[in-house]
Amino acid sequence: LRSFSSAIRFIMSSHLQWMVIRNCSSFLIKRNGQTYSTEPNNLKSRNSFRFNGLVHKKTVGVQPAADGKGVVVVLKKRAGQHKPASSYVKVTINKNSRATLSSLRHIIRKNNYRRDLRMAALRRASAILKSQKPVVVKKKRTRAVKTA
């Protein structure tokens, strides 16, 4: 399916590609009356045209970094669609959370990526950064026992 998607890029529009892969994709997971999708660059893991990472020319993906610190932003370039391996650009951002989210917002805005995916990308990056924080165990205070 991956090679199918890249091979027909110039033949079919993205809407027609979506109609083809909407119900029969190897990435689909149907559970509890919901349909999820596990394809790369799908920010919300929903099976919908808006969040699909295969049919659009420009997509944004946010993944945790391999070392467990920071996030990796995966951008799909519009040029070079006939070479799928080189059509993705990966940028690792390893800063504090506020600077990371600011950098991600800047990358999406300045490179004219899809404006409708900006908030979803920021929320996913925020969730990844929050999951990478160490869990702090709070100490329980013990009360002094009253003596009569």
Angle at 113 between CA 48 and CA 55, to 5 degrees: 35
Residue-wise pLDDT tens digits, 23-75: 888 999 999 989 999 988 899 988 999 999 888 888 899 999 999 899 999 98
**What residue segments make up the domains of the chain, in order of their start?**
2-131
Question: Phi then psi for 59, rounded to 5 degrees?
Answer: -130, 160
Q: Which CATH architecture has domain 2-131?
A: 2-Layer Sandwich (3.30)
Q: Is 5 exposed, middle or buried (0-12, 13-18, 19+ CB in 10 A)?
A: buried
* pTM for the predicted model, two decimal places: 0.78
Q: Are 1 and 21 in contact (CB under 8 A)?
A: yes
Q: For 113-131, what is each residue's pLDDT tens digit?
A: 888 889 999 999 999 999 9
Per-residue pLDDT of 10-30, as tens digits, reads 567 889 989 998 888 899 999
